[in-house]
């Protein structure tokens, strides 16, 4: 549940232009809570696997920053704004976004992809991607405007029954547990966190499955609008400690 302080971070006047009285070179960085990657702290500064290194990089680089808690589709709109000094956290560098975005070097690398599925699907006993691709009746839940890294091309060729969601990760997980869909793709980090901390009563009807030939985890970056100066990207790259 979001506390009242979050509301102040989501006003339209803050999203696409510097705050009154702040330096014009302030960078506006948007994120949405997505543990274990992104966790909002009391002061609005993000923590988590991608949040913490991003906050550390801006601090080490001495770049003025304003944090905003914003839904993912709104984050993309901010980055597409040709005039705003806007960035967002933890995105894959995919070709279709190169036309409107700049990326820092990687801030984190996922361990690997897994399936978060309900018990009924798990009982099919599928163990490889090839077996999965032969099943055309599988219902897959996909987050709207998300990239799944090395899985994107596989999903396009597979043509399963796709349901697109703009809901929170928790609501998506509940849809899987209830059997509204069969599965969703998650990283190993996220899947383990969900089952341990968020699934609650739904956990009994969920299984985290690893297929033998799943693609490796992808690199996650800070993604910025084209109007963010190259100097800022370079300073962040020097401050990022991830190897």
Same-domain status, 63 and 127 = no
| More reliable by pLDDT, 5 or 88 | 88
C-beta neighbour count of 45 within 10 angstroms: 16
In a domain, 103, yes or no: yes
Residues in the chain: 243
Please give the share of the chain, as a percent, with pLDDT higher than 90.
81
50, 38 contact by CB (below 8 A): yes
186-224 pLDDT per residue, tens: 999 999 999 999 999 999 999 999 999 898 889 999 999
Total domains in the chain come to 2
Considering the entire predicted model, what is its pTM? Answer: 0.87
Same-domain status, 183 and 231 = no
Same-domain status, 203 and 229 = no
In a domain, 145, yes or no: yes
135-148 pLDDT per residue, tens: 989 999 999 999 99
Q: What is the pLDDT of residue 37?
A: 97
Same-domain status, 83 and 98 = yes
Q: What is the pLDDT of residue 235?
A: 97
Same-domain status, 117 and 188 = yes
Q: What is the CATH number of the domain that holds 199?
A: 3.40.190.10
Same-domain status, 156 and 199 = yes
Same-domain status, 157 and 137 = yes
In a domain, 173, yes or no: yes
**Beta pairing class for 139-143 and 219-225:** unpaired
Domain residues for the domain of 184 are 113-209
Same-domain status, 105 and 223 = yes
222-236 pLDDT per residue, tens: 999 999 999 999 999
What are the residues facing 89 on neighbouring strands? Answer: 222
Same-domain status, 99 and 160 = no
Q: How confident is the model at residue 34 (pLDDT cuts 50, 70, 90)?
A: very high
């Amino acid at each position: 549940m979001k506390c009242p302080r979050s509301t102040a971070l989501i006003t339209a006047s803050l999203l696409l232009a510097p705050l009154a009285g702040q330096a014009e070179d302030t960078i506006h960085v948007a994120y949405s809570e997505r543990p274990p990657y992104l966790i909002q702290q009391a002061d609005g500064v993000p923590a988590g696997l991608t949040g913490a290194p991003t906050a550390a990089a801006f601090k080490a680089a001495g770049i003025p920053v304003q944090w905003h808690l914003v839904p993912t589709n709104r984050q993309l709109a901010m980055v597409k704004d040709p005039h705003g000094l806007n960035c967002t956290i933890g995105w894959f560098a995919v070709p279709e976004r190169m036309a409107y975005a700049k990326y820092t070097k990687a801030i984190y690398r996922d361990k690997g992809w897994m399936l978060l599925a309900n018990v009924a699907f798990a009982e099919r006993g599928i163990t490889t991607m090839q077996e999965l691709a032969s099943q055309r009746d599988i219902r897959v839940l996909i987050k709207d405007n998300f990239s799944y890294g090395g899985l994107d091309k596989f999903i396009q060729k597979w043509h399963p029954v796709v349901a697109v969601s703009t809901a929170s990760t928790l609501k998506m997980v509940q849809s899987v547990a209830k059997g509204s869909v069969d599965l969703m793709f998650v990283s190993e980090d996220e899947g383990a966190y969900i089952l341990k901390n968020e699934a609650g009563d739904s956990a009994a009807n969920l299984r985290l499955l690893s297929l033998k030939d799943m693609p490796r985890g992808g690199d996650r970056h800070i993604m910025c609008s084209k109007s963010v100066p190259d100097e800022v990207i370079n300073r962040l790259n020097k401050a990022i400690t991830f190897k």
